[in-house]
A and B are shown apart, each in its own frame.
With several copies, the nearest count.
Chain A
Amino acid sequence: MNIHDIKKEFPIFDDKIQNNDLVYLDSANSSQKPRIVVDRIYDFYTKEFSNVGRSVHYLAVAATNLYEQTRVSVQKYINAKDKDEIVFTKGATEAINLVANTFGQKYLSEGDEVLLTELEHHSNYVPWHFLRKAKNIKIEFAEINDDGEVTLEAIEKKITNKTKIISVSHLSNVTGAILPIKEIVQLAHLKNIPVLIDGCQGAPHLKLDMQDIDCDFYAISGHKMYGPTGIGVLYAKKKWLEDLPPYQGGGGMINEVKKEGITYGELPNKYEAGTMATAQVIAFNESIKFMEKIGIQNIEKHEKELLDYGLEKLRKNNSVNIIGNPKEKGGVISFTIEGVHPHDIATILDEDGVAIRAGHHCCQILHDKLNLPATARASFGVYNTKDDIDKLDEAINKCKKIFNL
């Protein structure tokens, strides 16, 4: 598969959207879906549908096998040691809630500290805030520097002997900063502190190797990885999944149920209560295969090229102000235009089919720090091209014209 004409694998680009060719620059929000993923969902529902794991008839057995195949694919893709370390959730947000809730229950008490960073997405803050309310723990935020990065030193500064867990993004969905997660994990482990990585933006764009990174938890959203909505992955080291209490209760996650008490099932069932997002899990296998077929190195390279081209182009564009300047940066460009509010930018760009996002991108702490209520953000996926960036640039010019800049 040649990454330079991969657009045609994505049916959404086949037709015009509102008389425009779609210039989709909102992949950090959610990615478009390749044909094979959508076809897989269609075929599963129309030819093979059954619930998983609970019946012994042919369709149920087949569905169960398909479901478990995705687990193995994910395991291999992220190089986890064991397939039982892969837990399916409805998304990264649920994955983080799962960890905060169960780890919090067992290991956090009054006065303990959880260390986050100033660039965390609300999904990696609110679940910890719940514990602050319930258990009187403290939340610390490692600072971002002027380039919009969080350095190892910034993390180190905030670690105390009260720090019980560190939870940080792999890649910022606003500044694009790639955090030194391997080093953070090393440092934390020296002090016996487990680390959760919010991999929402890491997983779609960077090579993942759980055994190398050595993090304790890693959260992924399928819909940002060319997969269906409603499916996510929590990677967790087996020792944690064995040690922590279950999160949701229901069918499938139990061993023995009596009126007096309940014992829970083995991994990975323990964390998969109730009917799961069967079709989505099964189709997610195709997303993984799709990315494997292109090759994550090629994805990284392609997106880096786009980023460099985009940064150069927008820097040349007068009155565009790019947010953050991290040395290690993924395919995200957040920006403002002097005199035009980001929402107006987004509306005007949309008129030409250029889809970007405007707002605080679920990162209010970061925006407070930047002293900006909102930014505009263009983010890339495998299907983007330099042409898309040219169109972005043109649309920005139109924007300035409308606002008489």
Chain B
Amino acid sequence: MDLKDLYQEIILDHGKNPRNLGKFDNYNKDAKGNNPLCGDNVHVYLRLNENKKVEDIAFEGHGCAISMASASIMTDMVRGKEEKEVKEIVTDFLGMIKEKDSLETNILKDDEKTKLMSLSGVKQYPMRVKCATLSWHTLTSALDNSDQIVKTEE
């Protein structure tokens, strides 16, 4: 285990200055997620246009560097993508965090994949996995219009 893997520069950067933090007016989908054990929580807002494309996305919430960075990177990455693509990315990301060595989707460019892989450090820190995945589960919930609040405890 190496803390350097977990707290890579890019994580620290996104953790400290999260992109897309806040809320915008004309969102048409949203969902809340929280982690009862640590008190982390996140609220994802997004606007899906008539072509099912993510026109805009943002999030509110607070949490550790990992969870803030993950939400920040995620929102950056899915803006402009189609719903189907977003779902593929989410599945790919969660699969990678859970068991796979790398990302497989063709939707992401190599540099995007590198960025996402910066979150793979949590794999060595089981208690921190949910920090990295909370916003992603919440995104899925928003897309599915689920009313259930996401709680990350496997």
Question: Which chain A residues have a beta carbon within 8 Å of chain B's beta carbons?
Answer: 53-54, 56, 60-61, 64-65, 254-256, 265-266, 269, 339-344, 347-348, 351, 358-360, 364, 367, 373-374, 402-404
Return chain B residues, CB-CB under 8 Å to A360.
Answer: 38-39
Residue of B nearest to A60 (CB): B127
> How far is A367 from B40 in the complex, measured between Cα atoms in Å?
13
Q: CB distance B12 to A347 under 8 Å? A: no
Select from chain B the residue with minimum beta-carbon distance to A267: B153
A399 to B63, CA, bound (A): 17
In the complex the two chains form, is A343's CB within 8 Å of B128's CB?
yes
Q: Is the CB of B7 within 8 A of A367?
A: no
Contacting residues, chain A, for B151 (C-beta < 8 A): 255, 265-266
Q: Which residues of B contact A351 (CB under 8 A)?
A: 1, 3
B38 touches A359 (CB 8 A): yes
B interface residues, Cβ below 8 angstroms from A: 1, 3, 6-7, 12, 15-16, 34, 36-41, 62-66, 68, 125-128, 131, 149, 151, 153
Residues B62 and A373 in contact, CB atoms below 8 Å apart: yes
Assess whether B40 is in contact with A256, with CB atoms less than 8 Å apart.
Answer: no
Given contacts A347-B6, A403-B12, contact A56 B36 (CB under 8 A): no
Which of chain A's residues have a CB closer than 8 A to the CB of B62?
373
| Whole-angstrom distance between the Cβ of A241 and the nearest chain B Cβ | 15
A367: chain B residues within 8 A (beta carbon):
39
Evaluate contact between A265 and B128: CB separation under 8 angstroms. no
Question: How distant is the Cα of A404 from the Cα of B7 in the complex, in angstroms?
Answer: 11
11 interchain pairs (CB within 8 A)? Answer: A256-B34, A266-B153, A269-B153, A339-B16, A347-B6, A347-B128, A351-B3, A359-B37, A360-B38, A367-B39, A373-B41
Cα-based distance from A342 to B38 in the complex (angstroms): 9
A-side contacts of B131, CB under 8 Å: 343
A255 to B153, CA, bound (A): 11
> A339 — which chain B residues lie within 8 A by C-beta?
16
Nearest-CB residue, chain A, relative to B36: A255
Residue of A nearest to B12 (CB): A403
Q: What is the predominant secondary structure among interface residues of chain B facing chain A?
A: mixed
Q: How far is the CA of A218 from the CA of B3 in the complex (A)?
A: 43
Q: Is the interface of A mostly helix, strand, loop or mixed?
A: mixed
> Chain B nearest CB: distance from A255 CB in Å?
5
Nearest-CB residue, chain B, relative to A351: B3
Bound complex: CA A373 to CA B153 (Å): 18
Provided the pairs A61-B126, A341-B63 are in contact, do residues A348 and B38 lie with their beta carbons within 8 angstroms? no
Let me know if A402 and B7 touch, CB within 8 A.
yes
Contacts of A348 in B (CB 8 A): 3, 7
Cβ of B128 and Cβ of A402 under 8 Å apart? Answer: no
Residues on A with C-beta less than 8 A from B66 are: 343-344
From B41, B65, B127, B153, A61 is in contact (CB under 8 Å) with: B127
Contact present for B36 and A256 (CB under 8 Å)? yes
B128/A56 in contact, CB under 8 A = yes
Q: Which residue of A lies closest to B2 (CB)?
A: A351
Question: Besides the contacts A265-B151, A344-B65, A360-B38, what 17 more A-B pairs have beta carbons closer than 8 Å?
Answer: A61-B127, A65-B126, A255-B151, A266-B153, A341-B63, A341-B64, A341-B68, A342-B64, A343-B131, A344-B64, A347-B3, A347-B6, A351-B3, A373-B63, A402-B12, A403-B65, A404-B12
A265 to B62, CA, bound (A): 20
Kindly identify which residue among B7, B39, B125, B149 contacts A359, using a CB–CB cutoff of 8 Å: B39
Assess the B38–A358 pair: CB atoms within 8 A: yes
> Could you tell me the distance between the alpha carbons of A254 and B66 in the complex, rounded to whole angstroms?
24
Docked pose: A31 CA to B15 CA in angstroms:
33
Known: A265-B153, A266-B151. A54 touches B64 (CB 8 A): no
Bound complex: CA A348 to CA B11 (Å): 14
Of A65, A344, A347, A364, the residue contacting B39 (CB under 8 A) is A364
Q: Which residues of A sit under 8 angstroms from B41, Cβ to Cβ?
A: 373
Known contacts A56-B128, A265-B151, A344 near B36 by CB under 8 Å: no
Residues of the A chain whose Cβ atoms lie less than 8 Å from the Cβ of B126: 61, 65
